[in-house]
Structure 1
Amino acid sequence: MGGMEAAGELVTGALLGRAIDRPDAAHAHGAHMCLNCGTALIGEHCHHCGQPGHVHRSLHAVGHEIVHGVFHFEGKFWRTLPLLAWRPGDLTRRYVAGERTRFVSPMAIFLFSIFAMFAVFSWAGVTPSTNFKTGGGARPLAAIEEDRQSVLKDRQDAIADRDKLAAGDPDRIDEQERIDKDNIKLKALDIAAAPLRQVGERPEAEINYTGIAFIDHGIEKWHKNPSLMVYKLQSSSYKFSWLLIPLSLPFLWLLFFWKRQYKLYDHAIFIIYSIAFMSLLYIVLSLARAVGVSSGLLQVLGLVVPFVHITRQLQQAYSLGWFSAIVRSVLLAHFIGIVLALFLVILLAMGATG
């Protein structure tokens, strides 16, 4: 499974590199020959390979090209973001129609938003905790034994206190009640520990949860070290976030399969821009939560805004009436649940078999 994780990182890196490495990633200031292919330059860029006529060679230029290539602050980012937020369907339609250089590419803003979302989630404490009492290889049986030892010690102290008291002392009755309660607790803990002890006595290879070897192996891994498995799940969800695009594509196609003017490419651009907006939205909501905004308000916004945004994007991108867009949004909301479930199953399967 290390190979699968490496493949996920490779694909993510390739997508990011493709999104950033564009011909307009630096300013050109005129040169006689292209430094990449040797073609005589006519304008600021080589008309043969697209490389800028002038290449920077300074540390300042590295930072400049990262900012310019990823965010395109020099116009593109600020043209893209308002449209993505308020007129996402127009942005989708215009990009599909061929207006490419005016806007940040869908994949660039998708990758940026996904990476930023995971970073903000981690900073704001939104990600699930990887701190489990039974983590680090300990089983629930260890926790039961720990409680049992505590109860045993309390019972021994109660017996010692009782024996120090005279037979007719009222406090002796209280100590005896304390002993009786501890005896009940010990019986309950022994009952809870019995099946776990039986499992622990068998060799690991003989543990059989479902009868399916790789599933049993995965369950055993979660059972032994849940902290590590949750961490791997978080890491995989970041590395394989791009899987949401192909998983979503068939469901969006189903909503328009009889309309031949819309191609799979059009649906893919719709999905990429939509996921990018949702990621940016949840970044904003996470930051709002961190500064103390009401959780009730954030929950309402987290449910209402995505539905409104998807409806507007459908209505604008596919030239739908509002009723048709709302109906498709309801269907798409159910499809999104299926896509997220499939995505989670894939991540769990990769973690279980790794």
Structure 2
Amino acid sequence: MSGTETFGGMAEALATARVVEPAAGDHIVPGHTHESACLNCGTALIGSHCHACGQAAHVHRTLGAFFHDLLHGVFHFEGKIWRTLPLLIAKPGTLTREYIDGRRAGYVSPIALFLFCVFLMFTTINSLGSSLMPSSATAMDAMAQQQRDELKALEAKRVTVTDPAQTAEIDGDIVDAKASIEGLEKLKANDLNFNFGNDNTDIEGLKSSPLIYQAVKVWRDNPSLALYKVQTYSYKLSWALIPISVPFLWLLFPFSRRFGLYDHTVFVTYSLCFMTLLAVVTMLLVRIGTPSLGLLALVPPLHMLVQLRGAYNLSWFGAWWRTWFLSMFAFTALSLFAVLILVEAGG
């Protein structure tokens, strides 16, 4: 994605989030309300906002104020973001329950936060993509060089060894190293990570599933275009994760009169916000080479556990067993989302 497309995505994401969260960025500096009537509808003003149409009483007309509102809309959400994020991280169940119960004025709405988190994640992917996912050719070059170094060491050792048993063992290692180098060079030449061959014989068996067959064929014929389309559709269809995930959460509370689909939708959306931010943090840690990233694998289930317990007022045991199922459901939902993206990209 080019820089122009990145800024275009930013504008699109901010515009959408602003529609969902209309109060975001409407910052009124004390002393700036000078109009006596609303400039939008003409209603007499009795405060910092028109009580008829909701427009701010003071309308900025300077370039500096324009960019102030832009930065304010991105980073401040009128102060809501700084109250929402700590709860999303440390007390997600409390945040979910507060929003469901109607105490919303101090928090960013789930869908507005989700849109911004998705934009942030894909911006990070575009910025760090080359360092996060080196090409298959680069990876195979590195492995082949390692094999060549080992081959040289084995050949040098072979010259100094006189014992027949050790000589035979080293000769076997040399043969294996040469075979590995040859295999890696063939893989690189054929680009097997992205190419299924030069004809259709190897994917004929997929014709029973036309959508999957078409997706694989597009990926094989033009991997660069397919990768671009996967990224584009992943961004545009990210919202589909919400309706895909909600029915799975409903299965944890079937036919419950206390909790309805609305509760589950708020839960899922805030949970996806956290997981998206976690993905951003993980990518940044990978970029700087931070060790022990495996510990981050424990964060999603722990967050689910805390959110389930707080949002649905469960016991630790009730939240614990539901977390196990929710983790499996989350994997299933991601798999379904991946299939959706592949099908769309192959269309």
- Say whether residues 1:233 and 2:230 are aligned partners: yes
The answer to whether the 8 A contact 2:13-2:119 is kept is: no
Q: 1:270 to 1:216 in 2, by over 3 A?
A: closer
Counterpart-to-counterpart distance in 2, 1:126 and 1:315:
39
- Say whether residues 1:263 and 2:260 are aligned partners: yes
The answer to whether the 8 A contact 2:24-2:73 is kept is: no
Q: Identity of counterpart residues, as a percentage?
A: 44
Q: How does 1:156-235 map to 2 (within 5 A)?
A: 199=199, 208-212=204-208, 213-235=210-232
Greater Cα shift, 40-49 or 335-344? 40-49
The answer to whether the 8 A contact 1:118-1:238 is kept is: yes
Residue 25 (structure 1) aligns with: 26
Counterpart-to-counterpart distance in 1, 2:117 and 2:25:
21
Residue 298 (structure 1) aligns with: 293
- List runs of 5+ in structure 2 lacking aligned partners: 1-8, 138-181, 191-195
CA drift of 1:124 comes to 2.8
Residue 49 (structure 2) aligns with: 45
Counterpart-to-counterpart distance in 2, 1:92 and 1:52:
29
Counterpart-to-counterpart distance in 1, 2:78 and 2:16:
22
AA matched with 1:265: Y
The answer to whether the 8 A contact 1:218-1:352 is kept is: yes
Count of matched residue positions in the alignment of Structure 1 and Structure 2: 279
- List runs of 5+ in structure 1 lacking aligned partners: 1-8, 134-184
CA drift of 1:34 comes to 1.2
- Say whether residues 1:275 and 2:272 are aligned partners: yes
Counterpart-to-counterpart distance in 1, 2:133 and 2:327:
28
Counterpart-to-counterpart distance in 2, 1:333 and 1:216:
30
- Say whether residues 1:76 and 2:92 are aligned partners: no
Residue 310 (structure 2) aligns with: 316
CA drift of 1:25 comes to 2.0
Residue 326 (structure 1) aligns with: 320
Q: 1:23 to 1:48 in 2, by over 3 A?
A: farther
Counterpart-to-counterpart distance in 1, 2:275 and 2:130:
16
Q: 1:78 to 1:210 in 2, by over 3 A?
A: closer
Counterpart-to-counterpart distance in 2, 1:86 and 1:97:
19
> What CA deviation, in whole Å up to 9, does each residue of 1:25-48 have, x standing for no partner?
231625211112221111111111
- Say whether residues 1:54 and 2:55 are aligned partners: no
Counterpart-to-counterpart distance in 1, 2:288 and 2:132:
19
Residue 92 (structure 2) aligns with: 88
The answer to whether the 8 A contact 1:31-1:53 is kept is: yes
TM-score (normalizing by structure 2)? 0.71
> What CA deviation, in whole Å up to 9, does each residue of 1:37-61 have, x standing for no partner?
2211111111111111111122222
The answer to whether the 8 A contact 1:12-1:242 is kept is: no
Q: 1:293 to 1:95 in 2, by over 3 A?
A: same
Q: 1:219 to 1:124 in 2, by over 3 A?
A: closer
Counterpart-to-counterpart distance in 2, 1:24 and 1:257:
40
CA drift of 1:131 comes to 5.7
> What CA deviation, in whole Å up to 9, does each residue of 1:108-161 have, x standing for no partner?
22122111112223333378859677xxxxxxxxxxxxxxxxxxxxxxxxxxxx
Counterpart-to-counterpart distance in 1, 2:105 and 2:76:
10
CA drift of 1:20 comes to 4.5
Residue 124 (structure 1) aligns with: 128
Q: 1:75 to 1:233 in 2, by over 3 A?
A: same
CA drift of 1:76 comes to 1.8
- Say whether residues 1:284 and 2:285 are aligned partners: no
Higher-Rg structure is 1
AA matched with 1:67: L
CA drift of 1:273 comes to 1.0
> What CA deviation, in whole Å up to 9, does each residue of 1:257-294 have, x standing for no partner?
33222222221111111111111122122222222211
RMSD over aligned Cα atoms: 3.1
Counterpart-to-counterpart distance in 2, 1:319 and 1:217:
47
TM-score (normalizing by structure 1)? 0.70
Where 2:206 maps in the other structure, the secondary structure is: coil
Residue 148 (structure 2) aligns with: none
AA matched with 2:319: A
Greater Cα shift, 224-233 or 208-217? 208-217
CA drift of 1:208 comes to 4.6
Counterpart-to-counterpart distance in 1, 2:133 and 2:70:
33
Q: 1:52 to 1:40 in 2, by over 3 A?
A: same
Q: 1:246 to 1:98 in 2, by over 3 A?
A: same
Residue of structure 2 aligned with 1:97, choices 89, 98, 101? 101
AA matched with 1:288: L
> What CA deviation, in whole Å up to 9, does each residue of 1:295-352 have, x standing for no partner?
xx11221x10111111000100110001100111110001001100110010111111
The answer to whether the 8 A contact 1:12-1:240 is kept is: no
Counterpart-to-counterpart distance in 2, 1:210 and 1:23:
49
Where 1:210 maps in the other structure, the secondary structure is: helix
The answer to whether the 8 A contact 2:226-2:345 is kept is: yes
CA drift of 1:211 comes to 3.5
